[in-house]
Structure 1
Amino acid sequence: MKLFSAIALGLFVAGCSDAYAFEATQVAVKFTPPATTGTHLTTAEGMTLYTFARDEPHLSHCYDNCARTWQPYQVDFNAEVDGLTIIMRHDGIAQWAKDGAPLYLWAGDVVPGQKTGDGIAGLWRIAE
């Protein structure tokens, strides 16, 4: 049932429309160096990182309500991470990218190791 609820919620917010189900506020995501867990990227705390199919290389298309639910993985300018680059978003946030694809955290993943955002609406994928 939880998986069904997560999928339904994801479909609801995947289009990044003005409606969203989370009472999320846009908060800065604390930087932690990414780690590879098996075949995907996570934060150091184990939270799964995602990419968005509507993004272009080095250009995010997830703003406003979308970015409240799919939080940009923000850069700490005191850190360098092998294999990642930095993109500047239109909202002034510096965001990590893997092979040019901006990286995000999903509000539906609440504990390390969850991957409930993978495949939502065919637009969100786990970052590899």
Structure 2
Amino acid sequence: MTRSVKHQRACALAAVALVMLGAGACGDADSGDDTGPYGDATTSEASESPSEEATAEGAASLAIASDDELGDILVDNAGMVLYLFTPDTTTESTCYDQCATAWPPLLTDTADVTAGTGLDGALIGTTERTDGTTQVTYNDHPLYYYAEDSEPGDTEGQGVNDVWWVVNPAGEGVTTMS
């Protein structure tokens, strides 16, 4: 029986250590909140957002929408706002797993991405993700949705943890807050 109690204590301590390690890996000490490094769209509700449908592979297209506070910004053909992630320093995405749940990538099944009026088609590109899918880039920035943006024009992801920004037609992050 002593061995069983020691075994249970060891398992309990190991479980607590794993939980603490996991919490530390997901938190952002500088943000002052407990939403994690990707915002708070890591719940099951986030995976049910319309952005999941928008990331389904097919031909992608980009357009411009006007936001009263942020100016002209990049959206997909359904009007869903697109973001860049500043840790992506090349065309290669660094947002996977839990990050990609909160920030689904804009995917396409063709390199022929349509540029709407006012966009520079030469800035459009694609990059292969580690899972073999193809993500759309603009001005060498991989593009993402925010899972908590539920309606066209929503900009709930703007400025999350000072690393997620809507994209202007020049392909730069708009670093002002809405």
TM-score, scaled relative to structure 2: 0.58
Judging by fraction of residues, say which structure has more helix: 2
Q: Secondary structure at the match of 1:105?
A: coil
Q: Distance in 2 between matches of 1:104 and 1:11?
A: 22
Matches within 5 A, 1:50-89: 50-77=83-110, 79-81=112-114, 82=121, 83-89=123-129
| Alignment-derived partner of residue 27 in structure 2 | none
Q: Which runs of 5+ in 1 are unaligned?
A: 1-7
Bigger CA radius of gyration? 2
Contact 1:20–1:65, Cα closer than 8 Å, also in 2? no
Aligned residues: 118
Q: Which runs of 5+ in 2 are unaligned?
A: 1-30, 67-71, 115-120, 169-178
2:134 aligned with 1:94: yes
| Alignment-derived partner of residue 143 in structure 2 | 103
Matches within 5 A, 1:1-128: 12-13=35-36, 15-16=37-38, 21-23=42-44, 24=47, 27=52, 29-30=55-56, 31=58, 32-38=60-66, 39-77=72-110, 79-81=112-114, 82=121, 83-128=123-168
Q: Distance in 1 between matches of 2:155 and 2:41?
A: 19
Q: Alignment identity in percent?
A: 26
| Alignment-derived partner of residue 4 in structure 1 | none
TM-score, scaled relative to structure 1: 0.79
Q: Secondary structure at the match of 1:56?
A: coil
